[in-house]
Amino acid sequence: GAVVSQHPSWVICKSGTSVKIECRSLDFQATTMFWYRQFPKQSLMLMATSNEGSKATYEQGVEKDKFLINHASLTLSTLTVTSAHPEDSSFYICSAVPDRNQPQHFGDGTRLSIL
Amino acid sequence: GQQLNQSPQSMFIQEGEDVSMNCTSSSIFNTWLWYKQEPGEGPVLLIALYKAGELTSNGRLTAQFGITRKDSFLNISASIPSDVGIYFCAGQGGYGGSQGNLIFGKGTKLSVKP
């Protein structure tokens, strides 16, 4: 149980393009989903927390207009990197929980490369 | 942001050896979690600890939640090549972080020589 699917797993696009990443909980309803960013050889850094039906809560230093998060259903959250630039290249990982007292289960991540 | 102190940073061991890694924090957490991450993939939950002093096993893995709820260790017995990866500890809830949010250690990179 507790399977989280993330799509796409890998994307390469030109600078200035907007990229959407999907995160789905396959066998449970996720009231809360989290979005992380991970640079090579580093730990996961939380970008934002999204609750179904409400606005996401962004961590300090994360631009909400740059990283748009939508959590329109209990099984789907999306992260859109708007007008992406090379410095946005990174490994983006989502996680989901049925309630916030439960352990987070992670997707397989999306490798984003901006040329 | 706040992080847990995880050690060692990396380990190079021979297949069959036992492994031990630990995390400490200045803050109290309600839950301690251990994850394993392989290259190009997301972290996979190994063990979740909920009570101070709790000792939990998952196959060859054993983890304990410190009595003070400020530390935890993870042991791997009789290591095999597929144990290779980065192991992260994470604290959740309590005074260490807002409810539900995880605070991660920097990871322990494990290499196993056949």
Which pLDDT tens digit goes with each residue over A100-113? 778 999 999 999 99
Q: Which of A24-28, A52-56, B47-51, B95-99 has the lowest mean pLDDT?
A: B95-99
Taking an 8 Å cut-off on Cβ atoms, the answer to whether A103 and B48 are in contact is yes
In whole angstroms, what is the distance from residue A76 CA to residue B102 CA? 20
Tell me what percent of the residues of chain A surpass a pLDDT of 70.
100
Computed over every residue of chain B, the mean pLDDT equals 93
Instruction: Specify the long-range contacts of residues B12-17, CB closer than 8 Å, at least 24 apart.
Output: B12/B111, B12/B113, B13/B79, B13/B110, B13/B111, B13/B112, B13/B113, B14/B112, B14/B113, B15/B79, B15/B80, B15/B81, B15/B112, B15/B113, B15/B114, B16/B78, B16/B79, B17/B78, B17/B79
Chain A partners within 8 Å of B40 (Cβ)? 108-109, 111
Chain B partners within 8 Å of A103 (Cβ)? 31, 33, 45, 48, 92
pLDDT at A63: 94
Q: What is the pLDDT of residues B62-82, one digit of tens each?
A: 999 999 999 999 999 999 999
- A–B: how many Cβ contacts below 8 A? 60
Query: Hey, is the C-beta of B58 within 8 angstroms of any chain A C-beta?
Result: no
Q: Looking at the predicted structure, is the pLDDT value of residue B57 above 90?
A: yes
Q: Searching chain B, which residue's CA lies closest to the CA of residue A43?
A: B106
